[in-house]
Structure 1
Amino acid sequence: MNKIKMLIVEDDPVWMKCLSDYIGKENDMTVVKQAYTKEEALQVNCSNIDVALMDLSLSSEDVDLSGLEVAEHLNSKGLEKIIMLTSWDAPEIILESFDKGAINYITKSSYKDIPKAIRDAYCDKVSLHSDVSGVLIKELRFERKAKPLTPAEREVYELKEQGLTKNQIAQKLFKSVETIKKQFRMINKKIK
């Protein structure tokens, strides 16, 4: 039986050891490469890797999201099975991770689900973890509703969905309240 060859990209040595040990207990998986920094990860040869487990933050800086850059780079090199493993749960970061090449996203508190996610990725199964499925469904619903809107109407609709009032939207977009009301009427006709 061929083992699933894993790359782990994680800057925290304790997490790296725990992940490597945890994956190492699985009979059908082996960790073939570990990268502790963005620089190390960008140099990885992807030809002998089946699935990557990628941390989002690869430095001690709070706002560092260099894992996104690494995921995009590895994806462009042909590594299409990247699972983000992180403590970040902001919807915009989750969505950007998928934009950059991730096929799944798991928060570190759900680490027990990693082996199944790896197997699913290896077998080309779309298996979105429950940590992100709600965010993705909400985005899909929004996109499907907003599809018939013009760019200007979409901008108004997005602000309305964020909870802004007509007056706030008018101020933000430098339009009259009357114009915003007209756009709302058009939007309502199109999305109903």
Structure 2
Amino acid sequence: MIRIFLVDDHTIVREGLRAALVSEPTLEVVGEAGNGQELLDQLPSTPTDVVMLDLNMPVLDGLATTRRLQEEYPTLRILVLSMIHHERNIGQLLDAGAHGYVLKNVAKDEIVAAIHAVASGRQFLCSEIGLHMLRKVLNQSSAAPDGSIKKPNDLSNREREVLQLIAEGLTTNEIAEKLFTSKRTIETHRQNIIEKTQVKNTAALIKHAMEQGLINKA
């Protein structure tokens, strides 16, 4: 049995993770915390094998918590679960001692696979991150020496889903409720979409998305 401690400042995210993992006979959620400090306060009395850790949290964030865990609990396995997929952030977490990095929009099966991988002593990157990095390497290798190729419409499935709902006129709160996630997660998706499409506002984003066939026009 792998004992898991969930750390995320959004209660709804922790509840969703617990509900997803409760049916797995090899996994047991032994604790929850809203930030890294709460985790450190509980660990002495809560035997744990794998900590599932968000990156952006108040009081003590994921990076600082990872460093503390590496110092104080070196045998504990750390799996980061975040919406942030920038290489710099991922590299910082892995350098600090994290053993895996998974995006929050992955399927349950991939989260379970990630838990088993890090618990068994291996490292794990979710498939979306791995493919993103591979595409970037391939693009850089084929780009001109003075720059890299950027594909502004290279959106993930969840980003396309969020984009469609934005085009339908839903607010951030409404999208979060519809997709059973947090407002901050949707805001992160929105920012990623704007960066990838290189537009300046929502109106321009919708116009661009329709021109590129990224959303349904119905």
Contact residue 117 and residue 123 of structure 2 kept, 8 A = yes
Three-state SS of the structure 1 residue aligned to 2:125 is coil
Out of 80, 85, 88, which is 2:84 matched to?
88
The runs of at least 4 consecutive aligned structure 1 residues that moved more than 4 Å come to 134-140, 160-163
| Residue number in structure 2 paired with 1:106 | 102
Distance 2:33 2:8 in 1: 6
| Residue number in structure 2 paired with 1:9 | 7
Deviation at 1:127, TM superposition (A): 3.4
Three-state SS of the structure 2 residue aligned to 1:44 is helix
Three-state SS of the structure 1 residue aligned to 2:14 is helix
Out of 19, 22, 25, which is 1:24 matched to?
22
Distance 1:57 1:65 in 2: 9
1:35-54 correspondence runs (5 A): 35-45=33-43, 48-54=47-53
1:69 maps onto 2:64 in alignment: yes
Contact residue 63 and residue 96 of structure 2 kept, 8 A = yes
Q: Which amino acid aligns with 1:68?
A: L
| Residue number in structure 2 paired with 1:126 | 123
- 1:77-115 CA-to-partner distances (Å, cap 9, x unmatched) read 224411110111111111111011111111100142111
| Residue number in structure 2 paired with 1:58 | 57
Query: TM-score scaled to structure 2, two decimals?
Result: 0.56
Contact residue 94 and residue 100 of structure 2 kept, 8 A = yes
| Residue number in structure 1 paired with 2:112 | 115
Three-state SS of the structure 1 residue aligned to 2:74 is coil
Deviation at 1:55, TM superposition (A): 0.5
Distance 2:19 2:62 in 1: 22
Deviation at 1:132, TM superposition (A): 2.8
Corresponding residue pairs, total: 140
The structure number with the bigger radius of gyration is: 1
Distance 1:68 1:39 in 2: 12
Q: Which amino acid aligns with 1:114?
A: I
- 1:40-72 CA-to-partner distances (Å, cap 9, x unmatched) read 02323267111111001113xxxx981111111
